[in-house]
Chain A
Amino acid sequence: MTDLTASHVQSTDVVPARSRFPIHIVVFLAPALAIYTLFSIYPLVDTIRLSLYAGDETGARSFVGLQNFYTLLTDPNWSGQFWNAFTNNLIFFAIHMVVQNGIGLGLAMLLSLPRLTGGSVYRTLIFLPTMLSVVIIGFIWQLMLNPLWGIAPSLLKAVGLGSLFGPWLGQESTALLTVSLISVWQFVGIPMMLIYAALLNIPDDLLDAATVDGAGPFSVFWFVRLPLILPTLGVVSILTFVANFNAFDLIYAIKGALAGPNFSTDILGTFFYRTFFGFQLQVGSPTMGAAVATAMLVIILIGVLIYLFGVQRRLQRHTF
């Protein structure tokens, strides 16, 4: 508050201070707001608008209200695919929540042990795959799991589990799990880092006090550290949710737009791509694509709202 008045001290004798909006604020804000509005907010709003239209062969568009969503959810040609993609996406998310964030939490606990030698080396190396492109990771694992190359089967054989190997990426029953675990493998570093940072921020006195009071390592973790990092676990969860329901690159790189075998790895991102651009015999439809994108937007917003008003508030009350 003082800054604005200070900056106006010199100018008051020229123009009355209250009469107009300070021009320099406009100059500072204009470029960011212009680009952000034009290329981020406007397309999102326009996508929602387009989802209420239908186009015909001539390219003319007519307003159809919620018809596209009705088609998406009830027309047998669409709803089967939509719900399949949605369910797969939920499974994709559930696997990330349990495996990725579970391993991330475990690694963070180990790394935050006091006086651990080489901690920063481990952190740096384990985080490395996160830096690489999802596409590259997809191809790397495709080669690793390729029965032709035989890396995975021979490694499994070396530890006596050779019989477990199968063409995991090619089987309908295992493809989604395999793709999810590849993504987990790549992104474990993010929850690890965020949780590690949160664990470091816990004051040592708290842990010492608990130990002096006779709490064992398990009690210290369960009753002291875990409650204190709950807000971070909330952030990790919502980041995972938004990233998973927006994922596309990995499935596209490994399985192509058709998300095979038989759509078993199809998630909302690939479904959106196919709807928008078309595939095989089906012609792409911008308006149906916009409807799928709007549905994804609604799903993501529901997740964010649950987090903001359900999880985050309760957590803050809990910890402070």
Chain B
Amino acid sequence: MTIRPGRIAVHIALILYTILALGPILLILINAFKTRRAIFADPLGLPNGQTFTTIGFDRVFANSDFGLYFFNSLTVTVVSLVLIVLIGAMAAWALTEYRFRGNTLLSLYLAIGIMVPIRLGSVSILRMMVELNLVNTLTALILVYVAQGLPLAILILGEFIQQIPKDLRDAARCDGVSEYRIFFSIILPLISPAIATVAVFTMVPVWNDLWFPLILAPGDGKQTITLGVQQFIGQYVTDWNAVLASLTLAIAPVLVLYLLFSRYLVRGLTAGAVK
């Protein structure tokens, strides 16, 4: 195939846009490892023997509980995801497998949560968490995130469960296997591929959220990483090394996970979960 000039123009356009998309992020990453003088004198240069330093990171770790924030975020995200997938799969299974009165109504009821942001209920959520004594706990965040993530997860998992051949469960039923065992031993293992898709739509917003941590768990060492970075930068705004280092620490884990799992994420997004 000969290379047409049109194709070259397409690649130039795409490469330019890719640079625009990644440039700012890369700039933060490289400058986080440079001395203050080098950050300002040569912002575009890579750190070298003379300009390399980790002083920003040292200050971040000395002045904030970064490890704790990271652990908080990890706990909230993982527990939320596990609950959303497990509880969501159970509900999706019941709604797709059994025909019963109110089935459609329930599906519509759940659909409200896809379109209406749960954030708008924050006044009451905070009131409730105060009454339940859950303010400044990770439990409060997990409960809200599970409620927020369930509707879309049930929709996605339901579509997936529909594609599982009917013979499997019918055969099991003929053998007298209980409905619970059909779900937990046959269906649940089969939906693992859909978990990647559900994860895109649940984990990322949970990990990145600022609103609920700010409202429900702003202190007592229960900050998530997003809130922790926000508070830290608010305090050390003039310390460029520390600011750049804290941003790098917040970016790095997401970057690594994304590059490892991007295939699944991209597939999940383009696989028609949103039709």
Chain A interface (Cβ < 8 Å from any Cβ of B)? 1, 3-4, 6-7, 10, 21-22, 24-25, 27-29, 31-33, 35-36, 38-44, 46-47, 50, 103, 107, 110-111, 113, 115-116, 118, 120, 122-129, 131-136, 139-141, 143-144, 149-151, 154, 185, 188-190, 193-194, 196-197, 200-201, 235, 238-239, 242, 246, 248-249, 252-253, 269, 276, 286, 289-290, 293-294, 296-297, 300-301, 304
A18 to chain B, nearest CB (A): 11
B25 touches A139 (CB 8 A): no
A290 touches B170 (CB 8 A): no
A147 to chain B, nearest CB (A): 12
Please count how many residues in chain B sit with their CB below 8 Å of the partner chain's CB atoms. 94
B97 touches A29 (CB 8 A): no
Q: Which residues of the partner chain A approach B120 to less than 8 Å between Cβ atoms?
A: 44, 47, 246, 293-294, 296-297, 300
Q: Which secondary structure characterizes the binding site on chain A?
A: helix
Select from chain A the residue with minimum beta-carbon distance to B119.
A246
B208 touches A128 (CB 8 A): no
For residue B61, CB closer than 8 A to chain A, the reply is no
Partner of B151, one of A36, A149, A286: A36
Q: Which residues of the partner chain A approach B226 to less than 8 Å between Cβ atoms?
A: 133, 135-136
Select from chain B the residue with minimum beta-carbon distance to A287.
B123
Bound-state CA distance A27–B247 (Å) is: 44
Q: Which secondary structure characterizes the binding site on chain B?
A: helix
Q: Mark B52-69, 1 if CB is under 8 A from A, else 0.
A: 000000000000000000
Given that A39-B125, A47-B124, A110-B10 are contacting pairs, would A143 and B28 also be in contact in the complex, using a CB cutoff of 8 Å? yes
Select from chain A the residue with minimum beta-carbon distance to B39.
A149
B18 touches A125 (CB 8 A): yes
B274 touches A32 (CB 8 A): no
Partner of A122, one of B14, B27, B115, B262: B14
A28 touches B122 (CB 8 A): no
Q: Which residues of the partner chain A approach B180 to less than 8 Å between Cβ atoms?
A: 24, 27
Select from chain A the residue with minimum beta-carbon distance to B233.
A139
Within 8 A of A (CB), among B132-166: 143-144, 146-148, 150-151, 154, 166
Given that A43-B125, A134-B208, A135-B230 are contacting pairs, would A124 and B116 also be in contact in the complex, using a CB cutoff of 8 Å? no
Bound-state CA distance A42–B169 (Å) is: 36
Bound-state CA distance A300–B113 (Å) is: 13
Select from chain B the residue with minimum beta-carbon distance to A6.
B173
Bound-state CA distance A136–B126 (Å) is: 25
Q: Which residues of the partner chain B approach A124 to less than 8 Å between Cβ atoms?
A: 259, 262, 266
A128 touches B25 (CB 8 A): yes
B148 touches A40 (CB 8 A): yes
22 A-B interface contacts by CB (under 8 A): A3-B166, A3-B170, A6-B173, A7-B179, A29-B94, A33-B106, A36-B110, A40-B148, A44-B120, A46-B121, A107-B17, A110-B14, A118-B11, A127-B269, A128-B25, A131-B204, A133-B226, A133-B229, A194-B274, A249-B210, A249-B211, A293-B121
